[in-house]
């Protein structure tokens, strides 16, 4: 049996809040108990994946990879909400998928399911009556059926080709009835399925971008060529330019930096606000010097096909706020400020 990480009680760092009132203590303790119960459910799920369920999971992944059609998700109530989310996650990570409501399926939506598809039904009890017509439909047409349930002897499990059997971990609610821990395990297993399929398919950032053209996910997955400042917005000067003139170029732009280019237009150096402060301390006659004497050589640059999210990480790691974008000949063709990238990060919705 494969050993799995331990989320058990002995390693859980429970918060020790400063108690203002007894009511605060009761509220916080109830929240802690709920989170602990759901963590215990995830621990049980990890153990199940390390044991028999892992082999079923692998079979399900292989089945989905072999499909010519899509993965159809279905479920009722809270399991239905989870099914919708899993369908959306699968689709967004490169596995064509959508949700079919079991009640609507009985009124015409059954025709959305084809012989090239596979159906993944989620029901904690495995006895949800609304699922019965869809089960009968897929069985008659030999459409692969995957069950995600906590009961091995349920009607759904008995009809399924593959059963992802969830461990019987107590629900987090005080009466043990509201779907809480069970839906957390369903969600986590669905995420694991989507992530595994994406990894095996070799999902790239560019493909992910194509699935998320809008919102901040899509914005951060744009290329620098699409967002960089170009043309007259570039603060550039030659290496023989007097600093008196160079300062005018710098202040005439909003980037706090100046690119130094040679006679072939190649970027050979950079002067930043920080360079100026340090140079003024060491060179009282700074204004009589040239940019070539003050510049920092071999500045950090990025190519135009860099993703915005990668550029933001690059700036953070190098502790810089601006970067020139250069072509294959090291000629500056654009400039990007960290504020440009942060605006993308905060725009739209994921």
* Per-run averaged pLDDT (10 residues), the chain, 350 residues: 48 58 88 93 94 94 95 95 94 88 86 93 94 94 96 96 94 86 95 93 67 57 89 95 91 90 96 84 80 92 91 89 95 93 62
CA distance 114 to 142: 10
- The per-residue pLDDT for 19 is 57
Q: Which of 79, 84, 134, 85 minimizes the C-alpha distance to 105?
A: 134
| 224-346: in CATH 3.40.50.800 | no
Stated pTM of the model? 0.59
List the CATH code of the domain at 9-200: 3.40.50.10490
Tokens 């040239």 correspond to 290
- The per-residue pLDDT for 308 is 86
Q: Which of 45, 48, 31, 13 minimizes the C-alpha distance to 172?
A: 31
Q: What share of the chain is helix, strand, coil (3-state, %, to 5)?
A: 50, 15, 35
Q: Which of 297, 299, 325, 302 minimizes the C-alpha distance to 239?
A: 297
CA distance 160 to 156: 6
Segments making up each domain of the chain, as ranges:
9-200, 224-346
- The per-residue pLDDT for 348 is 47
How would you class 281 by CB atoms within 10 Å of its CB: exposed for 0-12, middle for 13-18, buried for 19 or more? exposed
CA distances from residue 253 to 214, 266, 308 in whole angstroms, order as listed: 30, 20, 22
Q: Any idea what the Cα angle at residue 321 is, between residues 318 and 323, rounded to 5°?
A: 80
Quote the tokens at residue 235: 């603060």
Q: Which of 94, 122, 276, 103 minimizes the C-alpha distance to 190?
A: 122
- The per-residue pLDDT for 287 is 82
């Amino acid at each position: 049996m494969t050993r799995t990480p331990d989320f058990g009680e002995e390693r859980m760092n429970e918060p020790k809040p400063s108690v203002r009132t007894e009511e605060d203590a009761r509220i916080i303790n109830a929240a802690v108990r709920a989170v602990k119960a759901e963590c215990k459910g995830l621990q049980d799920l990890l153990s199940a994946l390390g044991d028999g369920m892992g082999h079923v999971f692998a079979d399900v992944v292989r089945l989905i990879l072999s499909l010519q059609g899509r993965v159809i998700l279905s479920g009722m109530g809270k399991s239905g909400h989870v099914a919708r989310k899993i369908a959306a996650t699968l689709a967004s990570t490169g596995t064509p998928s959508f949700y079919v409501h079991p009640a609507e399926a009985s009124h015409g939506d059954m025709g959305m399911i084809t012989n090239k598809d596979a159906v993944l039904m989620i029901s904690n009890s495995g006895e949800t009556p609304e699922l019965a017509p869809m089960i009968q439909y897929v069985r008659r047409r030999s459409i692969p059926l995957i069950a995600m349930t906590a009961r091995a002897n349920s009607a759904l499990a008995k009809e399924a080709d593959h059963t992802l059997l969830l461990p019987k971990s107590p629900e987090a609610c005080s009466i043990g009835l509201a779907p809480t821990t069970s839906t957390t395990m369903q969600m986590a297993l669905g995420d694991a399925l989507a992530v595994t399929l994406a990894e095996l398919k070799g999902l790239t950032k560019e493909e992910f971008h194509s699935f998320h053209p809008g919102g901040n996910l899509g914005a951060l997955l744009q290329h620098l060529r699409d967002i960089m400042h170009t043309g007259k917005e570039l603060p550039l000067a030659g290496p023989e330019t007097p600093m008196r003139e160079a300062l005018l170029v710098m202040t005439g732009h909003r980037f706090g930096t100046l690119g130094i280019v040679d006679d072939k237009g190649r970027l050979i150096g950079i002067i930043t606000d920080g360079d100026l402060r340090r140079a003024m301390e060491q060179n009282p006659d700074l204004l009589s010097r040239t940019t070539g004497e003050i510049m920092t050589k071999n500045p950090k640059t990025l190519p135009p096909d860099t993703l915005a999210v990668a550029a933001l990480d690059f700036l953070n790691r190098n502790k810089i706020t601006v970067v020139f974008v250069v072509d294959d000949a090291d000629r500056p063709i654009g400039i990007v400020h960290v504020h440009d990238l942060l605006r993308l990060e905060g725009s739209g919705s994921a």
